[in-house]
Structure 1
């Protein structure tokens, strides 16, 4: 099943964002009250997204901007018509793609969706297709905007 076919499950009543990710967070951190972070170095050493990087590089120039001291994700800067910041979680099969202006600086970030109505036949769409083909699930805006306590 590709990432395009999989959705992040939500309880029937609107659900708790926390509950959606809880199992994977516990698997990675061991505890939510006393988390351990050593898994980040293990994941980074494995370079699990090398194939994604290679495929993205065949579409547009790509830089690896991953900083495991700040984020628990791999960060790729993809320079297409607009600059895309592709964040791939170290916790689970989750992706977030942000688009900026052509220079990467002069515009506000736009969350790039992977829905069928957004397909425009651009290199951005090719980037999204690579992520879907690799089984990534795009984190919805409402989850990204949810306060974590």
Structure 2
């Protein structure tokens, strides 16, 4: 799936307001919203999950998923409906064997209009100053701005 980076940038502006003085109030509002609680309930009905979300540092929901004796992580952005799925240090895409094992999960995400991002999309960088995000010398990647400056892939 091709992601339009202009749309991501627009979603960032809608969530943070001014990127030079970001407002993080959207984080708790999104986290407590019916949409995110519903998607989490649907996922937990199919998989054994552990919530590792830390809203003090991240702008995403971080979920550990146990499936077929494998541990994977799902990240749901609270900025807008973006997500990515990792197994180890690999971002799962539609070309991976594991993608088929998670078809039910992916169908849930699509039913809530989430867009699954691949590694290249996550590593795309915007030309903005990140010092106001308490992350000096960190790059303004899609991964950092939509999910967490503390994540790496």
Q: TM-score surpassing 0.5?
A: yes
Partner of residue 111, structure 1: 91
Equivalent residue, structure 2, for 1:133: 111
Flag the structure with larger Rg: 1
Q: Is the contact between residue 85 and residue 92 of structure 2 (CA under 8 Å) also seen in structure 1? A: yes
Query: How far, CA to CA, are the matches of 1:118 and 1:134 in structure 2?
Result: 23
- How many matched pairs? 126
Question: Against the structure 1 CA distance between its residues 133 and 46, is the aligned structure 2 distance closer, same or farther, given a 3 Å change threshold?
Answer: closer
Which of 63, 71, 81 is matched with 1:83 structurally? 71
Partner of 1:146: 124
Equivalent residue for 1:42, pick from 24, 29, 35: 29
Gaps of 5+ in 1: 1-5, 10-16, 101-108
The Cα shift of 1:58 comes to: 2.2
Equivalence for 1:71: 58
Structure 1 segments (4+ residues) deviating >4 Å: 116-121
Give the whole-Å Cα distance in 2 for the aligned partners of 1:74 and 1:37. Answer: 15
- Corresponding position of 1:94: 82
Distance in structure 1 (CA, Å) of the matches to 2:95 and 2:121? 20
Q: How does 1:25-64 map to 2 (within 5 A)?
A: 25-46=12-33, 48-64=35-51
Task: Tell which has more relative contact order, 1 or 2 (C-alpha 8 A, sep 6+).
Answer: 1
Taking structure 1 as reference, are residues 117 and 79 closer, same or farther at Cα in structure 2, changes over 3 Å only? Answer: closer
1:60–1:70 distance in 2 versus 1, CA, 3 Å: same
Using the size of structure 2 for normalisation, the TM-score is 0.71
Contact 1:7-1:137 within 8 A present in 2 as well: no
Alignment partner, residue 8 of structure 1: 3
Q: Which has the higher helix share?
A: 2
